């Protein structure tokens, strides 16, 4: 699907299967997809779960420098955990995968581009306890009910899975993408 960076986005219903915290504990999960950003210098959401700035759960996004980021939010503590890969995704076809161990520790986040594990710069704020199951939708290509941080480019596929994928599984998935999409 081609997203215009201004209005195109998609939503899923709010279902418990897309929430990975219960305000006391977090659970492992992975998100990602195949992306072709049209620009490399705009803050853009790839996938996110949450309705507003006060009901965020998790978000996979490109920061204003095009760097892949994965953020987990604990709204009652006004806290977050985040991992960032400090190399821009670029404007070519790229797979971006993010995994989380469920450890509730800043080091529990891993990021991959094109099937390769990347060095993650970890960040946190506040006393993070766990994500909370909010009533927010899962968004593709934007975030929040008010719609912001629109993705500009194409998305070949996106996924969310309730387990932490291994490096070998992500590498294999990438190799299958290369073969299937003739990348």
Per-residue model confidence as pLDDT tens digits over 115-165: 999 999 999 999 999 999 999 999 999 999 999 999 999 999 999 999 999
Contact criterion met (CB below 8 Å) for 105 and 122:
no
pLDDT digits (tens, 9 = 90+) for 40-87: 999 999 999 999 988 999 999 999 999 999 999 999 999 999 999 999
pLDDT at 154: 98
User: Residue 175: pLDDT above 90?
Assistant: yes
Nearest to 138 by CA among 1, 18, 53: 18
- Mean pLDDT for the chain? 96
In CATH, the number for domain 2-181 is 2.60.120.200
- pLDDT of res. 48: 98
Q: How far apart are CA 178 and CA 174, in angstroms?
A: 6
Residue 82: DSSP 8-state = E
Return the pLDDT at 167: 98
Predicted model pTM: 0.97
Q: Report the SS3 class of residue 168.
A: helix
């Amino acid at each position: 699907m081609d997203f215009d960076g201004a209005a195109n986005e998609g939503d899923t219903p709010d279902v418990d299967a897309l929430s990975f915290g219960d305000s006391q504990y977090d659970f492992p999960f992975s998100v990602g997809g195949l992306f072709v950003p049209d620009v490399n210098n705009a803050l853009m959401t790839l996938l996110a779960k949450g309705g507003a700035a006060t009901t965020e759960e998790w978000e996979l996004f490109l920061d204003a420098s095009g760097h892949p980021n994965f953020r987990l939010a604990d709204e009652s503590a006004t806290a977050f955990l985040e991992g960032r890969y400090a190399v821009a995704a670029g404007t070519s076809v790229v797979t971006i995968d993010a995994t989380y161990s469920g450890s509730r520790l800043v080091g529990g986040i891993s990021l991959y581009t094109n099937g390769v594990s990347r060095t993650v710069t970890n960040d946190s704020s506040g006393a993070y306890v766990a994500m909370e199951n909010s009533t927010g939708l899962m968004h593709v290509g934007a975030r929040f009910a008010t719609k912001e941080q629109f993705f500009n480019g194409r998305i070949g596929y996106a996924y969310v899975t309730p387990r932490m994928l291994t490096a070998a599984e992500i590498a294999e998935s990438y190799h299958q993408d290369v073969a299937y999409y003739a990348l």
